Amino acid sequence: MRIPLVVANWKMNLSSAQAAGNVQSLAGRLHEGPEVDVVVCPSYLNLGRVREIVRDTPIKLGAQDVFWKESGAYTGQVSAGMLYDAGAAYCIVGHSEKRGRFGKTDLSPEEIAYFGESDRTVQLKIQALQFHSITPILCVGETESERETGRTDAVIREQVARATEGLDPSELYFFAVAYEPVWAIGTGKSCDVAEAERVCGTIRRTLAELKDENSAEQTRILYGGSVKASNARELFAQPNIDGGLVGGASLDPEEFEQIVRAAV
Ligand code: PEP
């Protein structure tokens, strides 16, 4: 049985005081927690403060990204070892905003150089996280033009295959995938529920083919892209959707609590 997982991605939002206030409010709301794993991913700078607040609560700490090298002359980067040290139990990797996609397929060389995420860097990040027993949350998703040209499944399968290359099937027990159609992120346009379920099912079948059926059955697959209190219950009721990765709506503790409760 897969325990539902609901992840708050706060992105580049909230001051230290606001992050503390938000997570305090959430901790109060979830203290008699439902049977759901709840993860909050603040900015790197707020990991320490949020960690102190979630220490004796069911809420777990997550990071929004990682660099794959262990240490060295990598200015501005944060390693998996550092995240472990900071108390992170989960980490998002390959978010479309880090892949520089923002719904586009034709990126300028400057944009690619700036964001620099590729299937290969995602793969290296996953390996670094697993070495430190941090659960990766791999984001995959197609852009609007990939969907319109009938390439959704091919894009998703390729992203899953490349990211999980070299992963032992047993490592899927500590692994989650978030299906995040790029055109649905932060736009208010959520994916049709039946289509979200179909793509999440495709991800599970891809993992079964690449690794093994049992491990794929244990992997939590989330939906992300304009999840709100009003659509969460229907999305999370689907057999292959085990919870959500939530951006905008996770900034409001009251709404996020309702989303968490929708996953029970
Ligand atoms: C996200 O950033 O992962 C996300 C799904 O954002 P939003 O919920 O705002 O669409």
In this structure, the residue with its CA closest to atom 3 of ligand 1 is: 247
For the four alpha carbons of 69, 73, 74 and 79, in that order, the dihedral sign comes to positive
Q: Tell me how far apart the alpha carbons of residues 232 and 259 are, in angstroms, rounded to a whole number.
A: 6
**Span 246-256, pLDDT tens digits:** 999 999 999 99
User: How far apart are the CA of 81 and the centre of ligand 1, in A?
Assistant: 26
Pocket test for ligand 1, best of 241, 245, 252, 255 (most atoms within 8 A of CB): 245
190 lines ligand 1 (CB under 6 A): no
Quote the pLDDT of residue 262: 97
Quote the pLDDT of residue 99: 78
Backbone angles phi, psi at 259, to 5 degrees: -65, -45
Pocket test for ligand 1, best of 226, 230, 259 (most atoms within 8 A of CB): 226
171 is catalytic: no
Return the structure tokens found at 108.
């300028």
Quote the pLDDT of residue 80: 98
Over 60: is that where the pLDDT of 103 sits? no
180 is catalytic: yes
255 lines ligand 1 (CB under 6 A): no
Cα 81 to its chain centre, rounded Å, is: 19
Q: What is the mean pLDDT of residues 65-91?
A: 96
226 lines ligand 1 (CB under 6 A): yes
Over 90: is that where the pLDDT of 109 sits? no
Q: What is the mean pLDDT of residues 174-196?
A: 92
Q: Tell me how far apart the alpha carbons of residues 105 and 49 are, in angstroms, rounded to a whole number.
A: 37
Distances (CA, A) of 16 to 13, 21, 22, 47, 263: 10, 9, 10, 9, 28
User: How far apart are the CA of 259 and the centre of ligand 1, in A?
Assistant: 13
Quote the pLDDT of residue 113: 59
Q: What is the mean pLDDT of residues 221-236?
A: 97
140 lines ligand 1 (CB under 6 A): no
* DSSP annotation string for 179-207: E--GGGTTTS-PPPHHHHHHHHHHHHHHH
Q: Tell me how far apart the alpha carbons of residues 22 and 1 are, in angstroms, rounded to a whole number.
A: 31
62 lines ligand 1 (CB under 6 A): no
Nearest to 85 by CA among 58, 43, 57, 51: 51
Return the structure tokens found at 27.
């901790």
Q: Which atom of ligand 1 is nearest to the CA of 185?
A: 10
In this structure, the residue with its CA closest to atom 2 of ligand 1 is: 247
186 lines ligand 1 (CB under 6 A): yes
User: pLDDT over 90 for what percent of the chain?
Assistant: 83
Over 70: is that where the pLDDT of 107 sits? no
Quote the pLDDT of residue 189: 85
User: pLDDT over 70 for what percent of the chain?
Assistant: 94
Point out the catalytic residue in the list 97, 117, 142, 180: 180
- Whether residue 249 contacts residue 25, with contact meaning beta carbons closer than 8 Å, is answered with no
Helix (H) / strand (E) containing 218: helix 213-218
Distances (CA, A) of 257 to 44, 59, 91, 120: 23, 12, 21, 35
180 lines ligand 1 (CB under 6 A): yes
Quote the pLDDT of residue 105: 52
Over 70: is that where the pLDDT of 110 sits? no
